[in-house]
């Protein structure tokens, strides 16, 4: 992977990670609030907020795994 | 049930404590009599030890007690806080590996070693960094010891007191004493090597307990379909995130996930684990394990106990807890204690004892890391400045004396505070404990600057850190005690929408940047040297 490709991947992963923070624990979770008066929103019988939490965890975990695989160098300079 | 558990609990707890002491002495036999070995295990820790010791240090009794208790009481919303784990996981490599590289090249032991070195040997800054570390570490040790007492009460239900060496000890006192004395011994004899090895056992126990407790509650409620069917009958407000200023609103949780996670990664105990890691690969793999496996054990394990517990043990319309629960924090313990023996028979009784011991392990693994870190901070950052040129042997003794004094002091405070609740000592320490992460995260701006930007000055770093600490201090009980409550009502408003640590970090960063703009750097040599060290 070239330096430019790495830089682009790094920027992309950072943006996705920040988006996941905003959409997961942040104000983005307001999108899964049900209209007042109705029961809690569900997805396949599971509360939508739980499914939402799991989804954004998977996004964040995928970002970390991708960064570890392609960006994080584990080469150490030789010890003196 | 209590009697059955009582016998098994004695056996499991006894074996566990003996195993810890054994690992402590083994660590001593494998160690060398040098400061670097005592505090950093020769900087040679491999993947599993590093991953599990970082994890065990990160998770205190909070993971099995407070977190499920929050979900039991407030519904699904606090589950989103589990998303702080991938943030912390990423930081283990992004921050931790840079800390490790510089530490290995320059022989650092404490966070202040690096900060002081980078800023030209500034002693005031070193001491301020040491104070930040102590603000985090001291309340943590006291609260974990206190948790040991309460866990013993949960483990030995029906036993009020025991006689030990002619003294009558309440079960709370016995638990707190056992936790602190055993922890003190293995930290004392084996240093980082023993702490990390015991953390491996404690971390594995804790992860198993998290997964098993989730499995148990889902099984008790009829499998996944039955579990979710019953959970979706809970009131709507328990299944959604409350709006501002409700507790666990989205803005507060965002601040918590972004900043409290980093606070728990850059405190002295974790910082020293980065120094102790063998190489970059170790930290990279530890980061991946942390960011993936831990949230899985949390989201699909112990947090389900909070939700299922709310169905099994409903809170009445007046907000009163069922009589079986002394506090919401006990929900995981109660679910495990009441349902495991029914599900698994005699094996379940052993599992209950093992899991309750695992909860104690979580408290011990945080207490040991923080005691060990406190010893390093006081020896390196305080004693070494007062008595420069002391021999390694002398410093090792000072470090050990610190461990003994800190353990006995914390144990004394725990006894005294428990016997004199009117004084509110433990309540005050508890409030400090809640702000421990807010204090710790004040290291973030200068850490980011040293590792990535290298633009700030020593004066800027000192002023920023002092401003951050001062800001957090306004959220402790003391200003209101001194100046009167009405003047501090605004702190409650701020707290409702923003994490205190985040607010203080913003102040800290602003002051750091501004002062750095108007003060001179002592020279660019250090910045260039650090840049060279960090180049891949």
- Tell me the pLDDT tens digit for each residue of A8-67: 999 999 999 999 999 999 999 888 887 776 777 888 889 999 999 999 999 999 999 999
State yes or no: pLDDT of B1 exceeds 50.
Answer: no
State how far the Cα of B50 lies from the Cα of B192, in Å rounded to an integer. 11
- The pLDDT, as a whole number, for residue B121 is 82
Residue B433 has pLDDT above 70, yes or no: no
pLDDT at site B427:
66
Over the range B249-269, which residues count as b (16 or more CB within 10 Å of their CB) and which as e? bbbbbbbbbbbbbbbbbbbbb
- pLDDT bracket for residue B424 (50, 70, 90): low
Give the residue from chain B lying closest to A68, CA to CA: B284
Residue with the bigger pLDDT between B27 and B478: it is B27
Listing DSSP states for B327-381 in one string gives SGGGHHHHHHHHHHHHHHTHHHHHHHHHHHHHHHHHHHHHHHHHHHHHHHIIIII
What is the reported pLDDT for B470? 92
Surface-to-core class of residue B519, CB atoms within 10 Å of its CB (0-12 exposed, 13-18 middle, 19+ buried):
middle
- Residue B430 reports pLDDT greater than 70: no
The predicted model scores a pTM of 0.90
Q: Which residues of B touch A72 (CB under 8 A)?
A: 93, 97, 280, 284, 287
- Could you give the CA distance from residue B487 to residue B480 in angstroms, rounded to a whole number? 7
Determine if the peptide bond prior to B245 is cis (ω within 30°).
yes
In chain B, residues 167-226 whose CB comes closer than 8 Å to chain A:
225
Three-class secondary structure of residue A43 per DSSP: strand
The residue among B520 and B301 whose pLDDT is bigger is B301
Element of type H or E holding B168: strand B167-170
Q: Which of A63, A64, A67, A78 to mutate to test the interface with B (most CBs of B within 10 A)?
A: A64
pLDDT of residue A77: 64
Instruction: Write down the pLDDT at residue B535.
Output: 80
pLDDT tens per residue across span B70-117: 999 999 999 999 999 999 999 999 999 999 999 999 999 999 999 999
Nearest CA to B125 out of B134, B113, B138, B135 is that of B113
B116 close to B123: Cβ distance less than 8 angstroms:
yes
Lowest mean pLDDT among A26-30, B214-218, B296-300, B314-318: B314-318
Q: Higher pLDDT residue, B134 or A59?
A: A59
Kindly report the number of other CB atoms within 10 A of residue B97's CB atom.
27
C-alpha B307 chain-centroid distance: 24
If one counts every other C-beta atom within 10 angstroms of the C-beta of residue B374, the result is 28
**Chain A residues with CB-CB distance to B295 below 8 A:** 57, 61
Are B147 and B65 within 8 A, CB to CB?
yes
For testing the chain B interface, which of A57, A67, A73, A79 should be mutated: the one with the most B CBs within 10 Å? A57
pLDDT in tens, B336-393: 888 888 888 888 888 888 888 877 777 888 888 888 898 999 999 999 888 888 888 8
Cβ contacts of B251 on chain A, cutoff 8 Å: 26-27
Asked whether B303 and B215 are in contact (CB, 8 A), the reply is no
Q: Which ipTM did the prediction report?
A: 0.93
Q: Residue B238: is it exposed, middle or buried by C-beta count within 10 angstroms (0-12/13-18/19+)?
A: buried
CA atoms B470, B473, B475, B480: torsion sign:
negative
More confident residue, B490 or A12: A12
Give tens-digit pLDDT for B137-183.
888 888 788 777 777 776 777 777 777 777 778 888 888 888 888 88
Q: Collect all residues of chain A within an 8 Å Cβ-Cβ radius of residue B285.
A: 68
């Amino acid at each position: 992977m070239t330096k430019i490709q790495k830089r682009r991947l790094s920027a992309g992963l950072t943006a996705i990670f920040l988006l996941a923070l905003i959409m997961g624990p942040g104000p983005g979770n307001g999108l899964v609030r049900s209209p007042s008066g109705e029961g809690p929103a569900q997805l396949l019988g599971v509360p939508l907020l739980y499914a939402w939490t799991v989804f954004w965890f998977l996004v964040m975990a995928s970002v970390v795994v991708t960064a570890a695989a392609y960006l994080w160098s584990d080469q150490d300079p030789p010890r003196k | 049930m209590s009697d059955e558990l009582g016998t098994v609990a004695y056996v499991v707890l006894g074996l566990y404590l003996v195993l810890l002491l054994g690992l402590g002495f083994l660590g001593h036999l494998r160690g060398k009599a040098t400061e670097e070995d005592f505090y950093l295990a020769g900087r040679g820790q491999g993947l599993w030890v590093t991953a599990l010791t970082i994890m065990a240090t990160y998770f205190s009794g909070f993971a099995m007690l407070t977190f499920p208790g929050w979900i039991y009481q407030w519904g699904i919303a606090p589950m989103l806080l589990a998303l702080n784990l991938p943030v912390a996981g990423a930081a283990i490599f992004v921050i931790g590996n840079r800390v490790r590289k510089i530490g290995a090249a320059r022989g650092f032991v404490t966070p202040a070693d690096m900060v002081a070195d980078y800023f030209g040997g500034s002693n005031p800054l070193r001491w301020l960094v040491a104070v930040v570390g102590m603000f985090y570490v001291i309340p943590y040790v006291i609260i974990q010891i206190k948790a040991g007492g309460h866990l013993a009460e949960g483990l030995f239900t029906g036993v009020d007191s025991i006689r030990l060496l002619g003294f009558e000890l309440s079960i709370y006192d016995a638990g707190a004493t056992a936790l602190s004395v055993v922890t003190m011994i293995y930290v004392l004899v084996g240093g980082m090597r023993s702490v990390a090895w015991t953390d491996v056992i404690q971390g594995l126990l804790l992860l198993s307990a998290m997964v098993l407790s989730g499995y148990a509650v889902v099984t008790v409620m009829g499998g996944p379909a039955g579990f979710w069917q019953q959970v979706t009958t809970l009131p709507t407000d328990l299944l959604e995130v409350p709006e501002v200023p409700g507790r666990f609103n989205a803005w507060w949780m965002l601040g918590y996930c972004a900043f409290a996670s980093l606070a728990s990664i850059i405190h002295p105990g974790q910082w020293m684990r980065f120094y102790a890691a063998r190489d970059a690969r170790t930290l990279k793999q530890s980061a991946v394990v942390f960011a993936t496996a831990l949230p899985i054990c949390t989201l699909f394990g112990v947090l389900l106990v909070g939700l299922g517990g709310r169905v099994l043990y409903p809170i009445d319309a007046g907000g009163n807890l069922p009589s079986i629960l002394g506090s919401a924090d006990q929900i995981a313990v109660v679910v495990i204690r009441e349902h495991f023996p029914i599900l698994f028979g005699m094996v379940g009784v052993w599992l209950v004892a093992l899991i309750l011991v695992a909860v104690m392990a979580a408290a011990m693994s945080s207490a040991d890391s923080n005691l060990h870190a406190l010893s390093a901070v006081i020896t390196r950052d305080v004693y070494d400045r007062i008595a420069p040129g002391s021999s390694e042997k002398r410093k090792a003794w000072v470090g050990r004396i610190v461990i003994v004094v800190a353990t006995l002091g914390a144990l004394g405070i725990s006894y005294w505070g428990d016997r004199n609740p009117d004084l509110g000592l433990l309540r005050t320490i508890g409030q400090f404990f809640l702000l421990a992460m807010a204090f710790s995260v004040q290291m973030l701006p200068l850490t980011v600057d040293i590792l990535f930007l290298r633009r700030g000055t020593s004066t800027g770093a000192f002023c920023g850190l002092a401003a951050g600490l001062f800001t957090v201090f306004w959220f402790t009980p003391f200003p209101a005690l001194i100046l009167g409550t009405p003047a501090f009502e605004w702190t409650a408003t701020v707290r409702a929408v923003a994490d205190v640590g985040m607010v203080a970090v913003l102040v800290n960063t602003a002051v750091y940047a501004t002062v750095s703009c108007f003060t001179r750097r002592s020279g660019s040599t250090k910045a260039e040297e650090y840049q060279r060290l960090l180049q891949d």
